[in-house]
Structure 1
Amino acid sequence: MNFSFVSGDATRASGELLVIPLFEGELGDTAPSSLAAADTALEGRLRGAATQEGFKAKGEQSFLMHTHGRATAERVLLLGLGNRARFTPEVLRLAAGRAVKAALRLKAGTVAFVLPATDAADATVRAVVEGLMLGAYRFDKYKSSARDEKNPARVGKVALVLPEGLEKSRELDDALNLGRRVAEATNWARDLVNEPPNAVTPTVLAEAARAAAKEGGLQVTIGGLREIQRLDMGMFLGVTAGSAEEPRLIHLVYTPKNARDAKRPPLALVGKAITFDSGGLSLKPTEGMVEMKTDMAGSAAVLGAMKVIAALKPPFPVHAFIGACENMPSGTAYKPGDILTSRLGKTVEITNTDAEGRLVLGDMLTWACEHKPSAIIDLATLTGACMIALGNYIVGAFGEHEGTVNEVLQAARTAGEEMWRMPVSELQKDALRSEVADMKNSGERWGGAINASLFLKEFVGETPWVHLDIAGPSNSPKERGYLSKGGTGVGVRTLVEWVRLRAANPDAYEAAPAPTLKGAATKAAGKSARKSARG
């Protein structure tokens, strides 16, 4: 999708479809110049027809009208943005997604999109670019009808019409390019999530990580079963034991070229990568297993974000840690009642083999903390309990370090990804108490998302840490705005914004906290840097 900025009369902008976003009340005498020009070109019929059809520019409303040759565009699409006082860029991002889907249905290959006048023009540009590119996404590679289609509908060119008084600038160009990179990376992550589990195995996911690293100039290390054994990741080994697919240990590193920046404490991103989750011997019901190809959405988001981070070149290192495997039932699978020993040295009694993601993440978090990051985020499709609490579109954010949690929530707001802070309460800790080991991997049903976060907390020590449970938002149940049914790529935008936020003031995070490893910590604390690097 190619973008360009244009100024002047919107009705003369090149495009088969002219899109005009409007706030409530702008159909009247206070109409923006773009609407007034379109209404004049259509001899005053546009506003009248829209009013007759009940269009009031409320959120998610739209009105489409043919121009009958009275304007450059064949059709005009009015988009409702709702109340201006409650406007956020996400409102525009969703509206742009609806607009591009309308263009695809109309087979309009070129679009002129009028940018609404807002307080932050760069955020407006980025929201429109992301909304259009994300909204145009579709995953149909396995449909024969799509393969046989000779001229599939696509939007190739978009003219972004600047509002009156706004000139093209370097800042707007930068916002456009950032929006394009983020949308491309998010759609790439969506592809990984939407692929069937026989197409994206741990090996294939590792090769996707290798390709992303090569494209962005990142260092990449990929290990297999032997490397996981050398790192004493007993929980990871337990989860993968039942699968015929060999696991993969993935480590991507962005390092600044500047020597001083390269020595700063890194940021660490950890993504859950269960490429298929049957539940293991605690087998899921059939209907609960169908979408379990998406149980690696956390890793897809981390890899997608690393593609953008490589281009942003922040003034500090960024590491990505991913443990990829399947959770399958077989004669070699780990069992309820087993006791696994983590890399940290803590022992874990298995009470439910379907609580596997936290086991792999625990070993990965321990490994990540050994690299002494200034902060760490993990993303995981971890619990159905979080979906029960927050639904399909809101991410649950867990963490005790106020500054880091607030940074992540701020980054999410800027990115337009909805998050809600959840408690990490010691009141729930008894749910994980074991009579025969240091802890259980699964407790009672009540407070399940909190229980999972408490389990993960045991493996991060004092390192500032945020856990994002993306079980609901990782997979959209229906088409909505720029979302299509299926994988969403949630988390890519927030991770990018978090890195950008920290890059704006890197000296504020100069001192990396020494990881305090609780419990039987001496085992992992004694690991040499040489042994860690082998993973």
Structure 2
Amino acid sequence: MNFSFISGEASRANGELLVIPLFEGELGDKPPASLAGADAPLDGKLAAAATQEGFKGKSDQSFVMHTLGKLEAERILLLGLGSRARFTPEVLRLAAGRAAKTAQRLKVRTAVFAVPAVDDLVSALRATVEGLELGAYRFERYKSSAAKEDKNAPKLTTVRLALPGGADKTKEHDQAVALAQRVAEATNWARDLVNEPPNVVNPERLAQAAQEMGRAGGLKVTVGNRKEIERLKMGMFLGVAQGSVNEPKLIHVEYTPKNAKQAKLPPVALVGKAITFDSGGLSLKPTDSMVEMKTDMAGSAAVLGAMKVIAALKPPFPVHAFIGACENMPSGTSYRPSDVLVSRSGKTVEITNTDAEGRLVLGDVITWANEHKPAVIIDLATLTGACVVALGNYIVGAFGDHDATVNDVLESARTAGEEMWRLPVTELQKDALRSEIADMKNSGERWGGAINAALFLKEFVGETPWVHLDIAGPSVSPKERGYLGKGGTGVGVRTLVEYVRRRASQLESSGAAEEAPAPKPSRGGRAKG
């Protein structure tokens, strides 16, 4: 999608669709300039018709009207933003997503978007561009020839942005649009990985996607096979992988600053769960629960998507991504309930449920990531149905006991427009993982299931500041909503990018990027591909 800025009134700009976001009450006596400029040539019929149809500017409301040749645009789309007092950029992002979907339905190629007058215009621009790009996303790779007409229909390719109140475009505005496009494109790329069928995106293809992304972005990518995983003594990872004919892959993506001092700073470690299909293993899932289990690698997709943007942002510290990719399948070679697995850390784990597999792979990969002496570890995982029960389909569960790091991630999520809620990591639940024959069990009682999973991961973190993001609900949208369509959402990409941007800004303002300590030697090896 191509974006450009226009000067003057939005209603006078060329475009098939004129989009005007409105707050509640702005259809009254003192409409904003964008609405007044469009309504005057229509002799007041726009506001009158919208009012008659019940449009009041509430969230999720939309109204479309044909201009009958009285404006440059063929149609006008009014978008409700709700109460101005409750406005956040995410409200505008969702509204822009609705605009993109309306443009698709109307087969519009060009649009003019009147950016609303808000306090933070830069954030509004980012939200607008991200919403339009994300809202226009469609996964149609496997549509048959019978659907060709719909696939080849005109699509929104050009958007002209009209700043409010005659504001002049600045370099910061250009940068906001460029960043928003980069983030949205990476999120859509992650969505593609999640939406692909499991016979296409298996561990090998996920590793190939990481390598292709790395080559395009100038990142170092190494991929280890089963022998490398065995060499690293990742017994939990191997246990999960042993039931599938598809070989597991250990993926390591590295961004390193060119500045020698900055390259010595401790890295940010991003860990993504990558079970490319989860049948539940011998603890087999019911059919209905298994249908969407191709999406059990959404954490790794988000991490890789974020690395695409990080490669372009070039923060003043290293950023590493660590991913253990495999399938969890039932077969004669599958790991079993009652097995005891030995982790890379040396801890032993009694298996009580083979469907609690993600934490096993993550435990070994987090241990390996920790050996690279990171400043912080953030993992993303579609880990527990219990988190969906607690928080629903649109809120990420955040865990961690290092308050400053958790708060930084939560603040990054708020800025990015991804809603997260902190849940406890409490020792009160630790008895649920106690084993009679090993150091711990991989699954405890039903109650507090999301906390139990986080407690399991905590055993492999050591003293490193760590945040666990359980994205089991928001990784897939059950319906269309704003810029979301049914299917993979790419949740986490925006938050991780914002976290890295925030950390870079903090380091640069403090001068810490120029005072890098020498790295400590690592006990673990790196995967070789």
2:242 counterpart letter in structure 1: A
Q: CA deviation at 1:129?
A: 0.3
Q: Distance in 1 between matches of 2:436 and 2:374?
A: 34
Could you list the per-position Cα deviations for residues 439-472 of structure 1 after superposition, in whole angstroms to 9, with x for gaps in the alignment? 0000000000000000000000110000000000
Q: Distance in 1 between matches of 2:151 and 2:176?
A: 34
Shift of the 473–512 alpha-carbon distance from structure 1 to 2, 3 Å rule, reads farther
Shift of the 527–464 alpha-carbon distance from structure 1 to 2, 3 Å rule, reads closer
Q: Distance in 1 between matches of 2:517 and 2:138?
A: 43
1:64 counterpart letter in structure 2: V
1:532 match: secondary structure: coil
The percentage of aligned residue pairs carrying the same residue is: 73
1:159 match: secondary structure: strand
Does structure 1 conserve the Cα–Cα contact (< 8 Å) formed by 2:299 and 2:380?
A: yes
- Superposition RMSD on alpha carbons, in Å? 1.7
Does structure 2 conserve the Cα–Cα contact (< 8 Å) formed by 1:342 and 1:348?
A: yes
Q: CA deviation at 1:146?
A: 3.6
Q: CA deviation at 1:28?
A: 1.2
Shift of the 266–527 alpha-carbon distance from structure 1 to 2, 3 Å rule, reads closer
Q: CA deviation at 1:403?
A: 0.4
Could you list the per-position Cα deviations for residues 77-107 of structure 1 after superposition, in whole angstroms to 9, with x for gaps in the alignment? 1110000010000000000000110111011
Does structure 2 conserve the Cα–Cα contact (< 8 Å) formed by 1:374 and 1:512?
A: no
Q: Distance in 1 between matches of 2:304 and 2:523?
A: 27
Does structure 1 conserve the Cα–Cα contact (< 8 Å) formed by 2:224 and 2:527?
A: no
**Correspondence for 1:183:** 184
**Correspondence for 1:259:** 260
Q: So what's the TM-score if we normalise by structure 1?
A: 0.96
**Correspondence for 1:132:** 132
Q: Distance in 1 between matches of 2:238 and 2:444?
A: 21
**Correspondence for 2:15:** 15
**Correspondence for 1:49:** 49
Q: CA deviation at 1:150?
A: 6.8
Could you list the per-position Cα deviations for residues 291-334 of structure 1 after superposition, in whole angstroms to 9, with x for gaps in the alignment? 00000000000000000000000000000000000000001000
1:395 counterpart letter in structure 2: V
**Correspondence for 2:526:** 532
Q: So what's the TM-score if we normalise by structure 2?
A: 0.97
**Correspondence for 2:311:** 310
Does structure 2 conserve the Cα–Cα contact (< 8 Å) formed by 1:7 and 1:163?
A: no
Q: Distance in 1 between matches of 2:312 and 2:400?
A: 29
**Correspondence for 1:519:** none
Does structure 2 conserve the Cα–Cα contact (< 8 Å) formed by 1:92 and 1:128?
A: yes
2:271 match: secondary structure: strand
Q: How many residues align?
A: 525
Q: CA deviation at 1:194?
A: 0.2
Q: CA deviation at 1:151?
A: 3.1
Does structure 2 conserve the Cα–Cα contact (< 8 Å) formed by 1:373 and 1:512?
A: no
Does structure 1 conserve the Cα–Cα contact (< 8 Å) formed by 2:24 and 2:84?
A: yes
**Correspondence for 1:199:** 200
Does structure 2 conserve the Cα–Cα contact (< 8 Å) formed by 1:300 and 1:489?
A: yes
Q: CA deviation at 1:14?
A: 1.5
> Unpaired segments of 5 or more residues in structure 2?
none
Q: CA deviation at 1:532?
A: 3.4
> Unpaired segments of 5 or more residues in structure 1?
516-524
**Correspondence for 2:120:** 120
Q: CA deviation at 1:534?
A: 4.3
Q: Distance in 2 between matches of 1:191 and 1:12?
A: 37
**Correspondence for 1:520:** none
**Correspondence for 2:66:** 66
**Correspondence for 2:109:** 109
Could you list the per-position Cα deviations for residues 234-289 of structure 1 after superposition, in whole angstroms to 9, with x for gaps in the alignment? 00000000000000000000000011111111000000000000000000011110
2:132 counterpart letter in structure 1: L
Q: Distance in 1 between matches of 2:250 and 2:373?
A: 19
Q: CA deviation at 1:140?
A: 1.2
Q: Distance in 2 between matches of 1:104 and 1:458?
A: 48
Q: Distance in 1 between matches of 2:228 and 2:150?
A: 46
Q: Distance in 2 between matches of 1:450 and 1:230?
A: 31
Could you list the per-position Cα deviations for residues 328-369 of structure 1 after superposition, in whole angstroms to 9, with x for gaps in the alignment? 000100000000000000000000000000000000100011
Which residues of 2 match residues 112-511 of structure 1 at below 5 A? 112-144=112-144, 145-147=146-148, 149=150, 151-506=152-507
